[in-house]
Amino acid sequence: MKKSSFKEYLIFFTAVFVLSLPIFLAYYYQHHPDRTVTELESTVASIPLGISAAEADAFFGTQPDSVSQMKGVLANPTMMLEASNQSAAKQGSIQSYSLRTWKQNDVHATVAIDESGKVAGRWTWVE
């Protein structure tokens, strides 16, 4: 039986460390975000679906910073696909939405109002 040398142990442990490092980093960054949730993000998450645009505005306490129109499909309450997206038609029928957007620092919150005037979706994003 051959006796292992210090160099072989060093190579083995270095390889294990190098292969384990990306897994550790991926886990760390997924479970330890480097920023806190803002008040704007909390507010938009608390808006119930099906309320009116005026009721949604009341959650924020101000009128939106911008209002735009968009044709698309809500894949779920937090993800909208624009009508020009090839996957949109697969998700459902294309509808017109009024997008009401509030901005606070680099965080944006959007509430999608459907054709009946009710909240159909809401989401946030960071610039």
User: Is it the case that residue 15 has pLDDT exceeding 70?
Assistant: yes
Instruction: Return the number of other C-beta atoms located less than 10 Å from residue 124's C-beta.
Output: 20
Structure tokens at 9: 């142990």
Convert 16-40 into a string of H (helix), E (strand) and C (coil): HHHHHHHHHHHHHHHHCCCCCCCHH
- One-letter amino acid identity for 27? Y
Total tally of structural domains belonging to the chain = 2
pLDDT at 26 over 70: yes
Per-residue pLDDT reduced to its tens digit, 29-53: 777 766 788 999 999 999 999 999 9
Q: What pLDDT sits at residue 33?
A: 66
pTM (whole model) above 0.75: no
Q: What is the pLDDT of residues 61-112, one digit of tens each?
A: 999 999 999 999 998 999 999 989 888 888 888 999 999 999 999 999 999 9
Q: Which residues contact 57 (CB under 8 A, 6 or more apart)?
A: 63, 64, 100
Within the chain, residue ranges assigned H as helices are 6-31, 39-45, 53-60, 88-91
- Rounded Cα gap, residues 60 and 46, in angstroms: 10
Does 6 lie in the same domain as 56? no
* CB atoms inside a 10 Å sphere around CB 57: 15
Q: Are residues 30 and 43 in the same domain?
A: no
- Do 107 and 49 lie in one domain? The reply is yes
Question: pLDDT band at 1, cuts 50/70/90?
Answer: low
Q: Where in the sequence is the domain holding 9, given as residue range(s)?
A: 1-34
Q: Are residues 23 and 68 in the same domain?
A: no
Q: Are residues 79 and 116 both part of a single domain?
A: yes
For residue 36 the two structure tokens come to 């806190």
Collapsing DSSP to helix, strand or coil, 114 comes out as: coil
